[in-house]
Amino acid sequence: MSADAPQATQVLLVRHGETDWNTQTRLQGHTDIPLNARGRAQVQRLGEAMQGQQLDAVYSSDLQRALNTARAIAEATGAPLVAEPALRERRFGCFEGLTYAEVEARWPDDARRWRLREPGFGPTGGETLLDFHARCLAVAEALVARHAGGHIALVAHGGVLDSLYRAATRIPLDAPRSWRMANASLNRLLHGSSGFMLVGWDDHAHLQGL
């Protein structure tokens, strides 16, 4: 490796703690839903698991379910917390606030296209999968570039985690999902000259017993 080659950056990727809309299978999108009691307990465990670990910065979606999760990591590690709106969940437009069943009942054709993960499809008023993926990748790459060779945390949403998992594993956007994006679990990526790489996924040992 040449002396001026970019150094790899370690990325801790965390989905926010649980909300009532998670349990109801409601599409949250940009709606600012708070953590529920279980979510707050998950965040407390997450903070305990991160106690004393070294991070250069914690970047979080500015929605409260993510920001309150990120705050526990920042307090446990002493790292600065920065709100980053580009880490928000996908904007779901007319689907937002509805359950999967309600979407299916109201717009069966759109629901089918969404289920099939058509990259160019977006609900009315929402983002297409292609646009959302481009946003996630752009903000993540910009943030790791600030900390070459360092270690940062990104606290976001299920869709953001899915997008970065696909980027790290080179899985197409329209491929079915076979991996979990559990609330408050720990996921680890590395970013180097070849982009994102998967290191570890869905470490939820700290949540056992909840």
Which helix (DSSP H) or strand (DSSP E) does residue 203 occupy?
strand 195-203
In this structure, is the dihedral angle defined by the CA atoms of residues 125, 128, 132 and 134, taken in order, positive or negative?
negative
Active site residue 16: yes
Tokens 């990104």 correspond to 154
How would DSSP label each residue in 34-69? PB-HHHHHHHHHHHHHHTT---SEEEE-SSHHHHHH
Element (DSSP H or E) covering residue 188 = strand 186-192
Judge whether 20 is annotated as a binding position: yes
Cα maximum dimension of the chain: 58
16 known ligand binder: yes
The answer to the question of whether 201 is labelled as a binding residue is: no
Q: 22 among the known binding-site residues?
A: yes
Query: Is position 68 annotated in a ligand binding site?
Result: no
Pick the catalytic residue: 16, 133, 204, 206? 16
Among 11, 4, 6, residue whose Cα is nearest residue 160: 11
Q: Is 89 a catalytic residue?
A: yes
Q: What is the distance between the alpha carbons of residues 156 and 152, in angstroms, rounded to a whole number?
A: 13
202 is in an annotated binding site: no
Catalytic residue among 84, 89, 96, 127: 89
84 annotated as belonging to a binding site for a ligand: no
Q: Tell whether 38 is in a known binding site.
A: no
36 is in an annotated binding site: no
Four-point Cα dihedral 85, 90, 26, 114, nearest 10? 180
Q: Which residues are annotated as a binding site?
A: 15-22, 65
Give the residue numbers of the binding site for substrate.
Answer: 15-22, 65
Catalytic residues: 16, 89
